[in-house]
Amino acid sequence: MIKATLIEGDGIGPEIMQATLLVLERLDVKIEWDRQEAGMDALERCGDSLPEPVLDSIRSTRLALKAPLTTPVEGNFRSANIRLRELFSLYANVRPAKTLLPDGRFNNIDLILVRENTEGLYVGVEHFIPIDGDPHAVAEASGIITRSGCKRIAKFAFEYALSHGRHKVTIVHKANVLRALTGLFLETAMAVGAQYTDRLQIEERIVDNCAMQLVLNPDQFDMILTTNMFGDILSDEMAGLIGGLGLAAGGNIGNDAAIFEAVHGSAPDIAGQGIANPCALMLSAAMLLDYIGEQAPATRMRKAIQDTLHSDTRTPDLGGTARTLDFARAVAERISST
């Protein structure tokens, strides 16, 4: 048995986690879940959205499946999601975008974004400067990027490309304006990439152009390697190419720990209605299975999800009428019948 921490999150989290567990139960996978509370409920009960028991659990399991956690805009909260990535040095955020729907805007999208997950403008070094009685007269933020951080994420991306049969990596940056901050990222990633040019095609692209090109002609990309904030934005855009956030999975990976979660957040606008799309979390669970070497059940799960979507059982975000648990039951049945 492999032990893994399970965080059901808040907002739509508990609904999509219940759906995902229903499907996982049908697969013969040897995972023992250590269920831990985090998020808004934990914040209300013990004053911290990431209480010590959840951290202790991940310290011991080094592996988690996590549903989304809300970060209120009001108040002075550091995102629990970002804290987890920092605490466990989960420096690589891997976000695939693969066509699952037959009638999407594009066919055969198959992209992987690798996002640097611990540095850049998301380090949270920021403050206001009060002037003339206005406490928020000026806001100032520092982005922090290190050569060592760039080296490790670049090496991760190129090695990932080789081990997953990819052929091209596009380094995405804004080095024409943020000359130091993303210039260092570009310079370092290109230098690391020089050792791979015999096996991989490596190119670079400015982020705004990349955003436009992704919508116009996504086929020109294979893998994208980028900084924290650009990766956050471009991965939501890539989710849009395959039908929306309800289908976009991800993994936060470090040298000795990993947390798998959907790209999307807690979707408070539809929470509690039983209509959230559980696919993104299910596909993240499939990535977790791949990570622990359980490729066969991971493939079975992905196929059952795809077949269910093709059979027109879909949640409302994809134009269907299925409820979260209807969809999960349909996937579970497909698994049992294959």
Q: What residue 232 binds from ligand NAI, Mg ion, none (CB within 5 to 8 A, per partner kind)?
A: Mg ion
- For residue 32, how many C-alpha atoms fall within 13 Å in the half-sphere facing its CB? 6
Cβ neighbour number for residue 329 with a 10 Å cutoff = 17
Site map (CB under 6 A) of ligand NAI, residues 264-293, x = contact: xxxxxxx-----xx--x-------------
Of 66-74, 110-118, 124-132, 157-165, the segment contacting ligand NAI by CB under 6 A is: 66-74
Q: What residue 68 binds from ligand NAI, Mg ion, none (CB within 5 to 8 A, per partner kind)?
A: ligand NAI
Within residues 303-322, the interface with ligand NAI by CB under 6 A covers 317
What is the distance between the alpha carbons of residues 181 and 121, in angstroms, rounded to a whole number? 9
Helix 295-310 / helix 13-24 crossing angle, nearest 10 deg? 110
> Would you give the DSSP letter of residue 218?
G
DSSP 169-204: EEEEE-TTTSTTHHHHHHHHHHHHHGGGTTTSEEEE
Residue nearest to ligand NAI (CB): 265
Measured CA angle at 79 (ends 77, 80), to 5 deg? 110
Q: How far is the CB of 243 from ligand NAI (least distance, A)?
A: 11
Contact residue for ligand NAI among 4, 17, 68, 114 (CB under 6 A): 68
Q: What residue 166 binds from Mg ion, ligand NAI, none (CB within 5 to 8 A, per partner kind)?
A: none
Of 137-145, 161-169, 179-187, 262-270, the segment contacting ligand NAI by CB under 6 A is: 262-270
Q: How far is the CB of 22 from ligand NAI (least distance, A)?
A: 15
Helical segments of the chain, H only = 13-24, 40-46, 52-61, 80-87, 147-163, 181-193, 207-216, 228-241, 279-291, 295-310, 324-336
Annotated catalytic residues are: 122, 174, 208, 232, 236
Q: What residue 317 binds from ligand NAI, Mg ion, none (CB within 5 to 8 A, per partner kind)?
A: ligand NAI
- Binding residues for ligand NAI, rule: CB under 6 A, are 12, 16, 68-71, 81, 245-246, 261, 264-270, 276-277, 280, 317
